């Protein structure tokens, strides 16, 4: 199966730098000054492709009324493809290359969020320039799973569409596809799968706003709709059932804390194959700049994922002592918006490891993003990310006596985080 970009709904991605370092295109210059344009070639291509809608979002009519009548749209109306011509565009390839000749995963996560945002705008647009557009924000990432390594030398495409809508929420499924010539089965060419959840707000009142209905047509679209509906109900159930650990669960803390107490009280007797959770920590901090904002003036959710991924990767690298291999991003909730000028502090640690399978040890890394306001001495969590890594098989073969250590908590709060994370994984693994 060969990739191509002949479809009218396919957006070709080109490198954002020309050979001489300048852009001679007069039509691109105004768009390049729009919010978020520095991010990646994909963001640039998406702005170009949806310029009419985005121009309206940037400069909505004053005192425009809200959309009065909801439309019914099909998944095919929002389906969008972006195409990376890696095989022939050297500059594009270099922009996405990581040290191991694969695609930089942090940049890809940012691209996924940008594409999901464009698709949500497509679905919610009423094509009426007299009504005020909706404010669409990333509410959550349901899960992102890497199914096979993604090479930077082979053409790549991302295909996405709306698969489910609620009253004011939208779920978008994205498939990253990279095919080798010998692969004829489309399912085998899906390298990564992701599901993003957006919510709609009235751009004037800030209240939840109804979105256009969705009418799945094919059997596949109907199946995806039903699956997404079930996930929505499960998320609501989890929110209702979420409570502090009961007495029976408190008993589970004791075994987790026992070894941590030995590290703290009798370090000379501690297990050398274990390490305290707090000793795996890394931290990063940044001021959110105007160039990182979206069309609504807030920081891209994809930008936050990008920075969180790179910190998580570094944490797993330092912990394992070998190059980590990314496997998945677990469910992410975007708890509060991040604004231009915010002081963002990212803290990461290895939360736990799973060592049952020696061929694929699992490293679960937690990254917590805090929006810190020194002027008023406050700090709030905006996101908590959970990344799962393993270790590249070829890297293990080069290091004799390779062994990943067990992570143990030293405080009750750390033990609770581990238990809550493990409990959260259980239903997803059984689905």
Q: Given a cut of 50, is residue 431 above it in pLDDT?
A: no
pLDDT tens profile 297-341? 788 888 899 999 999 999 999 999 888 999 999 988 888 888 888
List the single range of 122-126, 166-170, 223-227 with lowest mean pLDDT: 122-126
List the single range of 68-72, 195-199, 281-285, 421-425 with lowest mean pLDDT: 421-425
Residue 183, pLDDT score: 57
Query: Rounded to two decimals, what is the model's pTM?
Result: 0.83
List Cα–Cα distances, 50 to 29, 45, 85, 122, 428, in angstroms.
16, 9, 20, 9, 35
Element (H, E) at 366: strand 362-373
- Could you give all domains of the chain from N- to C-terminal order, each with its CATH number? 10-16+35-237 (3.10.129.10), 252-425 (3.10.129.10)
pLDDT band at 185 (very low <50, low <70, confident <90, very high): low
259: how many CB neighbours lie within 10 A of its CB? Answer: 17
pLDDT tens profile 348-398? 999 999 988 877 899 999 999 999 888 888 889 999 999 999 987 766 656
Contact (CB, 8 A) for 2 and 157: no
Query: Could you give the percent of the chain with pLDDT greater than 90?
Result: 39
Please tell me the distance from the alpha carbon of residue 365 to that of residue 385, in angstroms, as a whole number.
Answer: 8
Residue 8, pLDDT score: 63
Determine whether 340 is exposed, middle or buried from the number of CB atoms within 10 Å of its CB (0-12, 13-18, 19+). middle
Higher-confidence residue of 4 and 33: namely: 4
Please tell me the distance from the alpha carbon of residue 85 to that of residue 153, in angstroms, as a whole number.
Answer: 9
Please tell me the distance from the alpha carbon of residue 422 to that of residue 130, in angstroms, as a whole number.
Answer: 49
Please tell me the distance from the alpha carbon of residue 282 to that of residue 391, in angstroms, as a whole number.
Answer: 19
Residue 124, pLDDT score: 86
pLDDT band at 251 (very low <50, low <70, confident <90, very high): low
- Residues contacting residue 326 through CB under 8 Å, at least 6 positions apart: 105, 146, 309, 313, 387, 388, 389
pLDDT tens profile 67-114? 778 889 999 999 999 999 999 999 889 989 999 889 999 999 989 998
The helix/strand/coil state of 279 is: helix
Higher-confidence residue of 250 and 160: namely: 160
Q: How far apart are the first and last CA of the chain?
A: 30
Nearest to 143 by CA among 348, 349, 388: 388
Let me know the angle formed at the C-alpha of 200 by 197 and 204, rounded to the nearest 5 degrees: 155
């Amino acid at each position: 199966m060969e990739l191509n970009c002949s479809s009218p709904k396919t957006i070709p991605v080109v490198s954002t730098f020309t050979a001489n370092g300048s852009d001679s295109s007069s039509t691109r210059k105004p768009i390049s000054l729009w919010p978020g344009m520095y991010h990646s070639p994909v963001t640039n291509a998406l702005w170009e492709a949806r310029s009419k809608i985005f121009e309206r979002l940037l400069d909505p009519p004053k005192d425009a009324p809200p959309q009065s009548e909801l439309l019914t749209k099909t998944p095919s109306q929002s389906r969008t493809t972006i195409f990376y011509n890696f095989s022939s565009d050297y500059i594009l390839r270099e922009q996405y290359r990581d040290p191991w000749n694969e695609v930089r995963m942090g940049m890809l996560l940012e691209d996924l969020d940008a594409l999901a945002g464009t698709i949500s705008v497509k679905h919610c647009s009423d094509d009426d320039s007299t009504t005020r557009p909706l404010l669409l924000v990333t509410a959550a990432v349901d899960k992102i799973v890497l199914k096979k390594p993604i090479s930077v030398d082979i053409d790549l495409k991302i295909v996405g569409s709306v698969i489910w809508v609620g009253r004011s929420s939208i779920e978008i499924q994205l498939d990253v596809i990279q095919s080798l010539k010998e692969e004829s089965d489309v399912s085998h060419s899906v390298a990564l799968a992701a599901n993003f959840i957006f919510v709609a707000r009235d751009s004037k009142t800030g209240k939840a706003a109804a979105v256009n209905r969705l009418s799945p047509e094919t059997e596949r679209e109907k199946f995806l709709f039903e699956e997404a509906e079930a996930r929505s109900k499960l998320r609501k159930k989890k929110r209702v059932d979420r409570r502090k650990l009961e007495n029976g669960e408190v008993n589970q803390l004791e075994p987790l804390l026992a070894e941590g107490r030995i590290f703290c009280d009798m370090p000379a007797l501690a297990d050398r194959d274990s390490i305290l959770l707090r000793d795996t920590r890394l931290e990063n901090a940044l001021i959110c700049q105007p160039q990182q904002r979206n069309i609504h003036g807030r920081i891209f959710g994809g930008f936050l994922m990008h920075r969180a991924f790179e910190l998580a990767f570094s944490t797993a690298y330092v912990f394992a002592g070998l190059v980590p291999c990314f496997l998945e991003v677990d469910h992410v909730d975007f708890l509060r918006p991040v604004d231009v000028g915010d002081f963002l502090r990212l803290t990461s640690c290895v939360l736990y490891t799973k060592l049952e399978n020696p061929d694929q040890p699992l490293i679960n890394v937690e990254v917590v993003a805090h929006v810190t306001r020194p002027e008023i001495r406050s700090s709030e969590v905006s996101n908590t990310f959970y990344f799962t890594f393993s270790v590249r098989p070829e890297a293990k073969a080069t290091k004799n006596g390779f062994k990943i250590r067990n992570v143990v908590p030293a405080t009750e709060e750390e033990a609770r985080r581990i238990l809550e994370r493990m409990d959260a994984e259980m239903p997803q693994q059984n689905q």
